[in-house]
Every structure is written in C-alpha cells, then in structure tokens.
Amino acid sequence: MFDQILQFLITGMTTGAIYALVALGFTIIYNASDVVNFAQGEFVMMGAMSTIFLAAGDNGLPIPLAAATSVVLVICVGILLQRFAIAPARGASVVTTIIITIGASIFLRGVALVIWGKDIQAMAHFSGEIPIHIGNATLLPQNLWVMGGTALMVLGVHYFFHHTMQGKAILACSYNRDAANLMGINVGLMMLVAYGLSALLGAMAGILVTPISFTSYDAGVMLGLKGFSAAILGGMGNPMGAVVGGLLLGLIESLAAGLISSGYKDAIGFIILLLVLFIRPSGLMGRRSSDRV
C-alpha cells in the first residue's frame, strides 16, 4: 500500500510539475494583460511537436538543439499572438478576449494538424529508460528531468520578476499600466516579453514531459484547462500560488485516479476548481479578489 501511494506521489509530482508550468505561464499573461489565455496548452503541444519533428529522421537535429530551436519558435508564436490577436483587441470585454484566445488555440491546433498530422507522437527519453527503484515504486530518469527542469524554471521566473529590471517593469505594468507607461516603461514591449516568457514555459513543459506522456495535435486542450484549474486553486494572479496549485492538482489527481477511479481523473481537477471557486474564490494563496463583490 505504501509503495503504491509512493508511486502515485511520483506520478502526481510529475504531472503536477507540468500543470505548475502551464499555470505559471497562464498567470504571467493574466497578470500582464488581464487576459485568460486559452492557447496556453497549445504552447506545450507545439514545443513538443516541433522538437519531435526537428529531431526526426537521419538528418534530424540532436535533441538539445531541436529543443532549443522549438523553444525559440514557440516564443515567436507567443509574441505573434500578443502582437496580432491580443493587442488589437485591447479594451475588449472578458467574453471577447476569451473567444479570441480560444480562436487562437483552435487556429494553432489547426496549424499543428496541417503540419504534423493527427497521429500521436512519441519522444525519446533524455537519459534512457532504466527505472530507479525506491522500494517497490519506480521512477524514470525522465521524471527527474521533469521535476528538476520545472524547479529550475520556477526559480528562474522568480529571479526574473524580483531581480531584473525587465521583470520588475512587467510587474509594474500589471499593477498599473498607465502609471508604468508614465514612468517610461515601454508597456507594449513588456507585454511581448510576458507572452514570450509564458510561451517559453509552455514549450519547455511540453519538451520535458512528452517522453513520458506522448503528444498529439490536440494534446494541449486538456493541459491548458488543467493549468487554469491549478492557477485558480493556487490563487489567480499569484505566480507561486500557480506552482503550488499545479503540484497539488497533480498529486490529488494521481491519488484519486489510483485510489478511486482512473476514468474520473480529469473530472476531479474540475470538481476541485468548482469547490475552490464556491468556497474560496481567491484560492489557497491569493489575496481577496476584487473581482467578486
């Protein structure tokens, strides 16, 4: 029993780490531009897909190079999304921006479908598939890659927002856009940086987890939605809350899938989402939201 639970925890931490990255990316965009980016999951899918295809075949790039190129590509997608879909609709209502980002997610999925087709794609593990045993539970090296990579990126994001001028400038924009503008911050540029950063996190998440979970053109949908649930669980707009929410959601899902029913695994995430919204809409770590009267 203990081993079994340990196994669930390992699985949960791994998925949770991915949720955390998606939630973090989502939070960065939400904070910077007040937009709920439904295309967040597509960043993940595109990162994974393009890495697989850049590395494929005899003339394929080595994985690190393919991954790096993919990340740059996805960052460009994020920047283009901001520049051509979000920025022109500034000031639009919540519903309008939601439909725009959903439109963007469908569009990106459509692009992926055209370029890469409908098949499920696999990616080679970074450092082999020899399992590490902890009691009777097993851990793949890739699990460590996911957790370690996530930890590094979370630390990086934290450093960026608290110790660099650019990061602080984005924070300033999210607190008060007009004041930031008056202080000489190039708000437009900061928005691009925020979307680029968010895309980077998504792409990295996709590259890290795909050896374990596979990917396909529509793999981003559920991941994106789970990321939102995680962000709300942690407290909408709170980056560290997003990370905690992601890990927690991954763990709960994995335990529930193992102990209750695997079919309802996905439903559990959304039931938690509803419960959080009903009982404590500000989330576990959020301030009391002003969005609610």
Q: Which residues bind other proteins (CB under 8 A)?
A: 30, 36, 85, 88-89, 92-96, 98-100, 102-111, 113-114, 225, 228-229, 232, 236, 261, 263-264, 266-267, 270-271, 273-274, 277-278, 281, 289, 291-293
- Of the pair 13, 44, the CB lying nearest other proteins is at 44
To 5 degrees, how large is the angle CA 225–CA 227–CA 230?
115
Output the smallest distance, CB 150 to other proteins, in A: 23
Structure tokens at 96: 């309008």
Half-sphere exposure of 58 (CA within 13 A, CB side): 0
Output the smallest distance, CB 212 to other proteins, in A: 22
35 in helix, strand or coil? coil
Beta partners for residue 137, in sequence order = 134
Output the smallest distance, CB 231 to other proteins, in A: 9
- Of the pair 88, 135, the CB lying nearest other proteins is at 88
- Of the pair 3, 291, the CB lying nearest other proteins is at 291
Output the smallest distance, CB 197 to other proteins, in A: 21
Dihedral sign computed on CA atoms, order 218, 220, 223, 229: negative
- Of the pair 99, 144, the CB lying nearest other proteins is at 99
Output the smallest distance, CB 148 to other proteins, in A: 31
137 in helix, strand or coil? strand
Task: Tell me the one-letter amino acid at 216.
Answer: S
56 in helix, strand or coil? coil
CA–CA distances in Å: residue 210 to residues 29, 118, 250: 24, 16, 16
- The CA distance from 170 to 214, in Å, is 34
- Of the pair 59, 290, the CB lying nearest other proteins is at 290
Sequence-distant (6+) residues with CB within 8 A of 263 are: none
- Of the pair 161, 228, the CB lying nearest other proteins is at 228
- Of the pair 83, 125, the CB lying nearest other proteins is at 83
What secondary structure letter does DSSP report for 82?
Answer: I
Structure tokens at 24: 């973090």
Output the smallest distance, CB 221 to other proteins, in A: 8
To 5 degrees, how large is the angle CA 196–CA 202–CA 206?
140
- Of the pair 67, 252, the CB lying nearest other proteins is at 252
- The CA distance from 271 to 241, in Å, is 18
Longest dimension (CA), the chain: 60
Output the smallest distance, CB 229 to other proteins, in A: 7
